[in-house]
Chains A and B, each alone.
Chain A
Amino acid sequence: MIEIKDLHKSYQMGSNSLHVLKGIDFSVEDGELVAIMGSSGSGKSTLLNILGMLDEADSGSYFLDNVPIKGLNETKAAQYRNKFLGFVFQSFNLINYKTALENVALPLYYQRKKRKERTETAMSYLGKVGLADWATHLPSELSGGQKQRVAIARALAADPKVLLADEPTGALDSTTSYEVMDIIQSINDEGKTILVVTHEQDIADMCKRIVHLKDGVIVEDKKVEQVRASQYVG
């Protein structure tokens, strides 16, 4: 699903150049649930941004579902993002003047789906994260956990190949974090490929594979026995 070879990325900070990614080789199979771990500054967010086509690597190759991701213009990148990727952010990033349902339906709007179809699809994904009753509520009327579930539903709505989650539990307490991870696990169970960036060990343990980043290189990449989040969820 994801094929990365010798990926480099540096940022210009004034006269200094900051080498963030120093040759990443990394591949993800269909249906995997991968945790990307590392302390801040390790380059994990940069890697995720490149994977999410929000940023571009300086060198190296990146194939997503056998499509080379290179030298895309903004329009093409937007279309690929819409088609291939679903994003979940630490700070949810829901549009505050749209209801839960409208937020979930937004990626479908950019896919030019009909309004009726958008509403139906969005509703079914909201149901999947257990928020069907909250469809007409604004984000400000939802709890943090509910917001993140709406965000997950939104990320799934366009039926992407890969779900990218950047610290999805970073703003949540542990109980709510496990609820969210429970949903992520169940989505993965249905076959969706998911990458989770986190610095919390217990969250990483709930994935099937853990990749450790340190100073721009992968220092560890191991398959783990998945801890099911459902056991913590009342």
Chain B
Amino acid sequence: MKFIFEKDTWQEIYGAIRKNKIRTVITVIGVTWGVFLFVILLGMAKGLDNSFRSQFNDFATNTMFVWGQQTSIPNGGFKRGRRMQLTLDDVATLESQVDDIEYITPRNVTGQWGTPPGQFVRGSKSGAFKVFGDYPTIDKVSKKKIFDGGRFINEEDIKYERKVCVIGEDIYKQFYDKDEEAIGDFVRINGIYFKVIGVYKPTQSGFEGDDSIFLPFTTFQTIFNQGKDISWMVITAKQDKNIVNTEATIKTMLKRMHNVHPDDTQAFGSFNLGKEVAKVSGFLSGMRLITYIVGIATLIAGVIAIGNVLLITVKERTREIGVRRALGATPAEVRGQIMLESVLLTFVAGLIGFVFGTLVLWGINTAIGNNDDIPILNPSVDFFAAIGALLSIVLLGTLIGLIPAQKAVSIKPIEALREE
């Protein structure tokens, strides 16, 4: 093995490779392409993953929604089919009694589930839209992009029941000219004047869409005469708690508080975001696995191409190999040279593919920038995955190089020289 570290060996190999340019280029293309695809695939998968994780931050992954429905089992003298209405008292009770809860936020909406939508009027135009009554914390769960100059509802708005609203991008487009300033403008909702403080655009699919209106929770309560009633509540469990357990605890408590039979599964509905996130995560993991399989298969195909070309090359170089052996090259030296050629070619090809792949990823990243329409964020390849891929290429190159090397050694010098 000593010869690997000798400068002369490499000069000999370099000579052989350099003087067979076309062959070298063709050989290299397969692996370069394989590594290139491998890097791009992994990078894009990573980008999707990053994008997903940036939307569903840690906060959201531990979140659930609960709302009232109708009972399905008679209980405590009540008939079945009783309508359940959640109230602010429920929120207060849960907050004080369930330790798992990090945040609990009530929400109100009109224009959904049979309730009448709000009438939105600006100048001579009018339209009907869903109206939400919300606390500022809701933005953490259901992320929205607020356009420049605007803001979302804040604690002050809640405290003073300010008549301010955040409108969807679609509403803005319907009611305002292009480049017309909406912030600070006054509009009427159900006959009452509101000041527009922001225009939003959802960054993920949700039932708010881009044509809803957000009001401070307290303002909504007063204007739509809600009293203590709420549409549903959003609950985020503490980081170290399992949201699935929290969901069960909360439902059990709500049933007790509302005099519902413990086995009644219909009285309260819930949607567990944590579970959904886990599903999408699973999907992404599956995709990453497929990426790896496809990438590695491409790599193997590339390396096999190298082996193939080298095998043809050995046939082509039969005479050269015969001459070398007549001049005193030992079988080990011949084998070593062919194998090192294979390893060197695969390694260099891999490196080129890697550099190109990284450049293209970088280009994609620059092109996308912070565009929220494309669900790819910071596509990149893990350093260790890259090193691992390069190492496995060298290993594969060595293995595949064994075949032509053995072929080269099996040629008897006398036969090689006789061949015309």
Contact = CB atoms under 8 A, between A and B. Distances in A.
Contacts of B326: 52, 54, 81, 87, 93
B330 A74 contact: yes
Interface in A40-80: 49, 52, 54-55, 74-75, 78-79
B111 to A, nearest CB: 80
A181 interface: no
A93 B15 contact: no
B244 interface: no
A91 B420 CA distance: 9
A93 B330 contact: no
Contact of A110 (B322, B329, B409): B329
Contacts of B322: 93
A110 B328 contact: yes
Interface string B408-420: 0100111001001
Contacts of A81: 325-328
Nearest to B18: A97
A107 B414 contact: no
Contacts of B414: 49, 54-55
B332 interface: yes
B328 A83 contact: yes
B322, B324, B330, B420 — most chain A CB neighbours (10 Å): B330
Given A54-B413, A54-B417, A95-B320, A87 B327 contact: yes
A91 to B, nearest CB: 7
B327 A82 contact: yes
Contacts of B320: 95-96
A102 B15 contact: yes
Nearest to A112: B8
A89 B417 CA distance: 9
Contacts of B325: 78, 81
A158 B329 CA distance: 13
A154 B19 CA distance: 20
A95 B19 CA distance: 11
B331 A95 contact: no
Interface residues of A, number: 30
B416 to A, nearest CB: 9
Nearest to A86: B327
Contacts of B409: 74
Contacts of A111: 328
A115 interface: yes
A98 interface: yes
B158 to A, nearest CB: 81
Given A93-B417, A97-B16, A107 B327 contact: yes
A111 B327 CA distance: 10
Interface string B99-121: 00000000000000000000000
Contacts of B412: 54
A3 B72 CA distance: 111
B20 interface: yes
Contacts of A134: none
A183 B80 CA distance: 118
Interface in B310-362: 319-320, 322-333
B407 to A, nearest CB: 15
B89 interface: no
A229 interface: no
B20, B325, B412, B413 — most chain A CB neighbours (10 Å): B413
A196 interface: no
Contact of B324 (A83, A91, A102, A106): A106
A158 B319 CA distance: 20
Nearest to B320: A95
Given A55-B414, A82-B328, A93 B319 contact: yes
B245 interface: no
Contacts of B12: 109
B195 to A, nearest CB: 81
B8 A115 contact: yes
A154 B327 contact: yes
Contacts of B324: 95, 106, 110
B54 interface: no
A91 B20 CA distance: 22
B371 interface: no
Nearest to A45: B418
7 contacts: A78-B328, A78-B333, A82-B327, A97-B20, A106-B327, A107-B327, A107-B328
Interface of B: 7-8, 11-12, 15-16, 19-20, 319-320, 322-333, 409, 412-414, 417, 420
Q: Which 9 A-B pairs rank lowest in CB-CB distance, beginning with the nearest? A: A82-B328, A97-B19, A110-B328, A54-B414, A78-B330, A75-B330, A107-B327, A93-B323, A74-B331
Given A74-B331, A110-B327, A115-B8, 10 more contacts: A49-B414, A54-B417, A74-B409, A75-B330, A78-B328, A79-B330, A81-B328, A93-B319, A93-B323, A110-B324
